[in-house]
A and B are shown apart, each in its own frame.
Chain A
Amino acid sequence: MTDAAELAGNLEVIVRSVAGVTALYPTTPIVVTIVGSVVDALTQREKAPKLVAVTTGKASLSVTARIGVADAASSTGVCRRVHDTIAANPAILALAPINTISVTVASIG
């Protein structure tokens, strides 16, 4: 069975492949990201911002992604396609029932 961390990595590749998606952004706020980068630099840890978040609850899981969309595409359409692609992923369905899939368009163009 796939664990949440491995699933998050797989979903990152899948979301990037959706037509109209131009970027994936960290799901953590910019301030947290900057602080994390500083800590990473001080501790010489490998920088690996989380781009698709998978959180597991008692008996369900939630997925969060923040994407950039091409100007020539439709943000609403791309956002729905990303949701539908995640929802249809067999690894998710095998892991736990879906609680929420949150997709936010953070930039256009």
Chain B
Amino acid sequence: MPTDPSIDTSAACQMAMASLERLRGAMSTLLRDEAEEQPARDDNWVTAIPDRIVLDVRSGRDIPISHPSPNAQLFVTEGAVRGLVRAAGDTVDNLIVGRCRLDGELTVLGAPITVTVDARACKGENIPPFADKLRDTLVGALRTHTELAIAGIDVIIRDIYLTKPEHGEEEATP
């Protein structure tokens, strides 16, 4: 397929591509393991993720970055921050981040912001510490890249569909 400069030079398209590549990588291993163990079922949630990615990579609001010069107008887009949240969340093992929402007056420096993240976790994870680990990861990424005043990060585990290989059982088998 020939290259398309309008895609290659679009931040939104590049973020969507990166998200889809991470999703494909995760799904190719995790879903294969699950498919071998589970009967056929409705996979609409899988097809919904790319739809959410397309929505989330839109630039959205401009989030200000402070600078002492009165001539400076510095911003990070809401879409870039949502992409950051998803990419950081996907670094947590056995978890796929779906929807991400930023609530609050994003365009006002210092205004309290709440981050809401939908995620899918592997069966067998202890959800509360798992959510805390995701929160810590997201706080670190947001503090590195933004000046957002994070009032809270709500983690919603929507599904527990993905199945890890039961290595413990394999090792226990003589």
Contact = CB atoms under 8 A, between A and B. Distances in A.
Nearest to B5: A47
Category for how many chain B residues contact A: 20 to 34
A68 B14 contact: yes
A101 B6 contact: no
A83 B67 contact: yes
B25 to A, nearest CB: 15
Contacts of B76: 75-76, 79, 104-105, 108
B77 A79 contact: no
A23 B74 contact: no
A102 B65 CA distance: 11
Given A25-B9, A30-B10, A76-B145, A101 B73 contact: yes
Interface string A65-109: 010110100111001100100010000000000111111111111
A30 B12 contact: yes
Contacts of A37: 4-6
Contact of B14 (A49, A100, A107): A107
B11 A109 contact: no
Contacts of A99: 71
A108 B74 contact: no
Interface of A: 23, 25-26, 30, 33-34, 37, 47, 49, 51, 66, 68-69, 71, 74-76, 79-80, 83, 87, 98-109
17 contacts: A23-B14, A37-B4, A49-B5, A49-B9, A68-B11, A74-B144, A79-B76, A80-B65, A80-B67, A87-B72, A102-B73, A104-B74, A104-B76, A105-B65, A105-B77, A109-B83, A109-B84
The 5 closest A-B pairs by CB, nearest first: A106-B11, A75-B145, A105-B76, A102-B73, A107-B11
